[in-house]
Amino acid sequence: MRRAYFKNNWIAALMVAPQLLIIFVFFYWPTSQAIYWAFTLEQPWGGGNEWVGFENFRQLLTDSQYWDSVRVSVIYAIATTALAMGMALILALFADRQLTGYKFYRVGLIWPYAVAAPAVGLSFRFIFNPSAGLFSYINHLFPGLWDPIMNGSHALFMVIVAGAWKQIAYSFIFFLAALQSIPRSLTEACAMDGSGVLRRMWDLQLPLMAPTFFFLLVINITDSFTDSFGIVDTLTVGGPARATNLMVYKIYEDGFRGLDYSGAAAQSIILMLLVIALTFFQFRFVERRIHYS
Amino acid sequence: MADINIRKVAKAYGKTQVVHGIDLDILDREFIVILGPSGCGKSTLLRMIAGLEAISSGEIAIDGKVVNDIEPRARGCAMVFQNYALYPHMTVAQNIGYALKVAGISRAERDQRIATVAATLDISDYLDRKPGQLSGGQRQRVAMGRAMIREPKVFLFDEPLSNLDAKLRVQMRLEIRRLHQRLNATSVFVTHDQVEAMTLADRLVVMNAGHVEQVGSAEELYERPASKYVGGFIGSPHMNFLKGQIADDGCSVVLEAGPTLPINPRIGRAAPGAAVDIGIRPEHARRTGEGANLTVRYDFLEELGNGRLFHGRVGDSDFIVQSADKTPPAFGEEIGLRIDPFHIHLFDGETGVRLQEIASVAPARTRALEPA
């Protein structure tokens, strides 16, 4: 790697200052505030707080509703990540085969990424509405088969599908780029060695895509823990009976609806630690098995 | 048994025609080298034989069976790629044995055959390494091993030596030739390096702009190039070309630069007044004091160690003389040359096609006239 050297250190400092300032103001400062709040009891309308130590955390960790939220979040994270990456991989493998018109559907597949989460939620609310559209016909034939308003697992399934749909595009771009960076001669050598299309995918393309796969795994898991608010808020508002009350949505609910700033701050800290721990785990145990060429 | 018959094979990408109806018969166990500059269609032809490129028209038959619509894997060919195309995530042993694994051959037999191939290529010590940990020459051997292990009927080489340094290239060249002898397969080797081509080939195919210019042994191509193009491509240093006209007597050429050179009287079809290009190889221009029939204005000297190249000009054309002569002339000095009529190649001035002798020159006579 090429490095630039500065004769004067203060010039170097000056040039990184804007970036550091932005990171500090928008990341470290709010985080430190959240940590501070997590250890205090904040008054709902402001005007003073009281140091309570780990009381906020103790309350949360003994609350069965909180553990439900954690459980639902983990299911949501695993399911959306698996669904989004699986679909993205299949679509990318097809796009890479450059069948007729692939340029058009390549663009088509990237579009969903540009749609904001609330818009995704809103459209899926229409699509999955049990009393209108496609699902109303199904419900007419089999009454009660699809009811996300009353049935918690239906609601969670709906949120997972919407969340995955939004994340497919992002993974698709990376998978396609990874596939297209595999040298053509490798694929040809593999064909000469006698392996067909499916065998080539398994023996050649997938192993060579492993670094991309790992990157997307980390990003998708992180995203599904922290970036699901818009979809939940528009689709289910956490219901029914908190069946889709994901951790990130519960933070918002407790903080801004319940005005429990301190509890919400403690939840943010737990969520942050959880994501850090998961990422660390992935780097520690998954990355070691990856071959970087 | 694997002969390859190529019938009127053409390749077009959209409207761009890159290979123009090629006919070529490759005999069983022959080592064929396809030689040509980049962009002449030689790699495309090889890839059509391999099945990696669709054939636009014509047909290719391997071992008497038309393979136009047969998948690469079913054609019985193995290919060595220019950049080796080794699987980076597999070890050397896995790379070599991959084809066998795909074919569903048992692990024990696989290991045994990998060991045999590795021993032949002298890479037994690296079997557990990944390609990224190997040197260029070692990767080359692994690529060869991967092709060999399938015991194919046909070996296809797509400029496999062009990424190696000069010394290794010479060494690998000899090894490829030796392996060819041992493996009893037909080999088709594509290259732009004429020295490589001449040392490896039983027969050479010289290609230019999608056409075959000439097919023949290295000696034939050197002695009797079928066109000005082949004359200029085969031989190092390259052939000198001068423009001229057949004189009225039909037995000599009047050069644009002035002098008149006698030509082989047996050359037919040379109508007086016809525009021709004459070709003279640098090693056939002899420096002489007396009896010179051509003079070169000397520019500079190129020392080769085992000989010297005297660069100069005849009229407006560059002219190279190869000679062991130790005394360099002064800059701008006129060097007298003696050119033997039997060493003058005549090409049609417009088409570049060789003007054929009526009967081939008797070898004994050629040798007698050769400079001492």
Give per-residue pLDDT as tens, B199-218: 889 999 999 988 899 999 98
Domain parsing of chain B, residue ranges: 4-223, 238-369
What is the rounded CA–CA span in Å between residue B119 and residue A66? Answer: 65
Q: Is the pLDDT of residue A188 over 80?
A: yes
For B187, the token pair is 């080999």
- Whether the CB-CB separation of B240 and B231 falls below 8 Å is answered with no
What is the rounded CA–CA span in Å between residue B18 and residue B43? Answer: 11
What is the rounded CA–CA span in Å between residue A165 and residue A214? Answer: 20
Q: How confident is the model at residue B367 (pLDDT cuts 50, 70, 90)?
A: very low
Q: Is the pLDDT of residue B362 over 50?
A: no
DSSP one-letter code for B126: G
- Integer-rounded Cα Rg, in Å, for chain B is 24
Q: How confident is the model at residue B265 (pLDDT cuts 50, 70, 90)?
A: low
- Set of chain A residues whose Cβ sits within 8 Å of the Cβ of B99: 193-194
Q: How confident is the model at residue A94 (pLDDT cuts 50, 70, 90)?
A: confident
Quote the Cα angle for A113-A114-A120, to 5°: 75
Question: According to the model, what pLDDT value does residue A3 have?
Answer: 67
Residue in chain B lying closest to A191 (CA)? B73
How near does any CA of chain A get to the CA of B181, in Å? 23
Residue range A56-289 forms a domain whose CATH class is mainly alpha
Question: According to the model, what pLDDT value does residue B47 have?
Answer: 92
Q: Is the pLDDT of residue B99 over 60?
A: yes
The DSSP element (H or E) to which B120 belongs, if any, is: helix B107-121
Phi-psi region of B184 (alpha: psi -120 to 50; beta: other; left: phi over 0): left
**What value does the mean pLDDT take over residues A53-74?**
89
Q: Which of B50, B87, B103 sits opposite A192 (nearest CB)?
A: B50
Question: According to the model, what pLDDT value does residue A291 have?
Answer: 66
Q: How confident is the model at residue B106 (pLDDT cuts 50, 70, 90)?
A: very high
Question: According to the model, what pLDDT value does residue B308 have?
Answer: 86
Residue in chain A lying closest to B83 (CA)? A185
Question: According to the model, what pLDDT value does residue B247 have?
Answer: 82
Region of poorest pLDDT, from B17-21, B239-243, B359-363: B359-363
Q: Is the pLDDT of residue A2 over 90?
A: no
Helix or strand or coil: residue B245? strand
Residue in chain B lying closest to A188 (CA)? B52
Quote the Cα angle for A246-A248-A252, to 5°: 110
Q: Which of A188, A199, A291 sits opposite B52 (nearest CB)?
A: A188
Q: Is the pLDDT of residue B360 over 60?
A: no
Mean pLDDT of chain A: 86
Residue range B238-369 forms a domain whose CATH class is mainly beta
Task: Tell me, yes or no, if B77 comes closer than 8 A to chain A by beta carbon.
Answer: yes
Task: Tell me, yes or no, if A182 comes closer than 8 A to chain B by beta carbon.
Answer: no
Nearest to B60 by CA among B9, B106, B101, B1: B9
Q: Is the pLDDT of residue B283 over 70?
A: yes
How near does any CA of chain B get to the CA of A290, in Å? 9
CB contact under 8 A, B89 and A293: yes
Residues 6+ apart with CB under 8 A from B208: B36, B37, B40, B229, B233
Quote ipTM for the complex.
0.78
Long-range contact list for A89-96, CB < 8 A, 24+ apart?
A: A89/A171, A89/A175, A91/A168, A91/A172, A91/A175, A92/A172, A92/A175, A92/A176, A92/A178, A92/A179, A93/A175, A93/A179, A93/A201, A93/A205, A95/A172, A95/A176, A96/A176, A96/A179, A96/A180
Task: Tell me, yes or no, if A195 comes closer than 8 A to chain B by beta carbon.
Answer: yes
CB contact under 8 A, B85 and A189: yes
Task: Tell me, yes or no, if A191 comes closer than 8 A to chain B by beta carbon.
Answer: yes
CB contact under 8 A, B81 and A189: yes
Q: What is the 3-state secondary structure (H, E, C) of chain A?
A: CCCCCCCCHHHHHHHHHHHHHHHHHHHHHHHHHHHHHHCEEECCCCCCEEECCCHHHHHHHCCHHHHHHHHHHHHHHHHHHHHHHHHHHHHHHHHHCCCCCHHHHHHHHHHHHHCCHHHHHHHHHHHCCCCCHHHHHHHHHCCCCCCCCCCHHHHHHHHHHHHHHHHHHHHHHHHHHHHHCCCHHHHHHHHHCCCCHHHHHHHHHHHHCHHHHHHHHHHHHHHHHHCCHHHHHHHCCCCCCCCCCCHHHHHHHHHHHCCCHHHHHHHHHHHHHHHHHHHHHHHHHHHHHCCCC
Could you report the per-residue pLDDT of B181-203, keeping only the tens digit for each? 888 889 999 999 888 888 889 99
Q: Which of B73, B86, B130 sits opposite A192 (nearest CB)?
A: B73
Question: According to the model, what pLDDT value does residue A75 have?
Answer: 94
**What value does the mean pLDDT take over residues B119-129?**
89
- Set of chain B residues whose Cβ sits within 8 Å of the Cβ of A194: 73, 99, 102-103, 150
Q: Give the torsion through C-alpha atoms of A17, A19, A20, A25, to 10 deg.
A: 120
Q: Cβ of A252: how many Cβ atoms within 10 Å?
A: 17
What is the rounded CA–CA span in Å between residue B313 and residue B2? Answer: 50
Question: According to the model, what pLDDT value does residue A293 have?
Answer: 56
Question: According to the model, what pLDDT value does residue A4 have?
Answer: 67
- What does each C-alpha distance from B26 to A96, B3, B34, B315 come to in angstroms? 36, 6, 11, 44
Helix or strand or coil: residue B42? helix
Question: According to the model, what pLDDT value does residue B369 have?
Answer: 42
Residue in chain B lying closest to A291 (CA)? B89
Q: Is the pLDDT of residue B366 over 70?
A: no
Which range is most confident: A99-113, A162-176, B351-365?
A162-176
Residue in chain B lying closest to A204 (CA)? B87
What is the amino acid identity at position A49? N
- How long, in residues, is chain A? 293
- How long, in residues, is chain B? 372
Q: Is the pLDDT of residue B95 over 90?
A: yes
Question: According to the model, what pLDDT value does residue B370 have?
Answer: 41
**How big is the A-B interface in CB pairs under 8 Å?**
62
DSSP one-letter code for B17: E
Task: Tell me, yes or no, if B162 comes closer than 8 A to chain A by beta carbon.
Answer: no
Region of poorest pLDDT, from A102-111, B78-87, B126-135, B357-366: B357-366
Q: Which of B73, B88, B103 sits opposite A191 (nearest CB)?
A: B73
Nearest to A166 by CA among A113, A216, A118, A123: A113
- Whether the CB-CB separation of B207 and B193 falls below 8 Å is answered with no
Region of poorest pLDDT, from A65-79, B255-269, B300-314: B255-269
What is the rounded CA–CA span in Å between residue A289 and residue B6? Answer: 48
How near does any CA of chain B get to the CA of A103, in Å? 19
- Set of chain B residues whose Cβ sits within 8 Å of the Cβ of A202: none
Task: Tell me, yes or no, if B54 comes closer than 8 A to chain A by beta carbon.
Answer: no
Q: At what angle do helices A29-38 and A261-281 cross, to 10 degrees?
A: 120
Q: Is the pLDDT of residue B357 over 70?
A: no
How near does any CA of chain A get to the CA of B100, in Å? 8
CB contact under 8 A, A199 and B132: no
Domain parsing of chain A, residue ranges: 56-289
Task: Tell me, yes or no, if B52 comes closer than 8 A to chain A by beta carbon.
Answer: yes
- What does each C-alpha distance from A256 to A44, A144, A223, A247, A265 come to in angstroms? 10, 34, 22, 14, 11
**What value does the mean pLDDT take over residues A159-184?**
90
Task: List B13's β-bridge partners, or say none.
Answer: B16
**What value does the mean pLDDT take over residues B233-248?**
87
Superfamily covering domain B4-223: P-loop containing nucleotide triphosphate hydrolases (3.40.50.300)
Question: According to the model, what pLDDT value does residue A45 have?
Answer: 77
Residue in chain A lying closest to B154 (CA)? A192
Task: Tell me, yes or no, if A198 comes closer than 8 A to chain B by beta carbon.
Answer: no
What is the rounded CA–CA span in Å between residue B68 and residue B75? Answer: 10
- Set of chain B residues whose Cβ sits within 8 Å of the Cβ of A293: 88-89, 132
Q: Is the pLDDT of residue B1 over 70?
A: no
The DSSP element (H or E) to which B22 belongs, if any, is: strand B16-26
CB contact under 8 A, A185 and B85: yes
- What does each C-alpha distance from B173 to A71, B42, B142 come to in angstroms? 65, 19, 15
Q: How confident is the model at residue B114 (pLDDT cuts 50, 70, 90)?
A: very high
The DSSP element (H or E) to which B111 belongs, if any, is: helix B107-121
Kindly give the pairing relationship between strand B16-26 and strand B31-35: unpaired
Task: Tell me, yes or no, if B305 comes closer than 8 A to chain A by beta carbon.
Answer: no
Mean pLDDT of chain B: 86
**What value does the mean pLDDT take over residues A34-59?**
84
Q: Is the pLDDT of residue B363 over 70?
A: no
Q: Which of B73, B82, B132 sits opposite A293 (nearest CB)?
A: B132
Could you report the per-residue pLDDT of B293-325, keeping only the tens digit for each? 888 888 888 888 888 888 998 888 899 988 887
Question: In chain A, pLDDT over 90 holds for what percent of residues?
Answer: 21
Lateral strand order in the sheet of B4-13: B16-26, B4-13, B57-62, B65-66
Question: In chain B, pLDDT over 70 holds for what percent of residues?
Answer: 94
CB contact under 8 A, A185 and B82: yes
Could you report the per-residue pLDDT of A256-286, keeping only the tens digit for each? 888 888 888 889 999 999 999 988 888 887 7
Question: According to the model, what pLDDT value does residue B368 have?
Answer: 40
**In the block, residue with structure tokens 């007698």:** B368
CB contact under 8 A, B89 and A291: yes
Q: Is the model more confident about B23 or about A7? A: B23
Task: Tell me, yes or no, if A289 comes closer than 8 A to chain B by beta carbon.
Answer: no
Q: How confident is the model at residue B142 (pLDDT cuts 50, 70, 90)?
A: very high
- Whether the CB-CB separation of B246 and B276 falls below 8 Å is answered with yes
Task: Tell me, yes or no, if B228 comes closer than 8 A to chain A by beta carbon.
Answer: no
CB contact under 8 A, A189 and B146: yes
Residues 6+ apart with CB under 8 A from B8: B21, B22, B23, B57, B58, B59
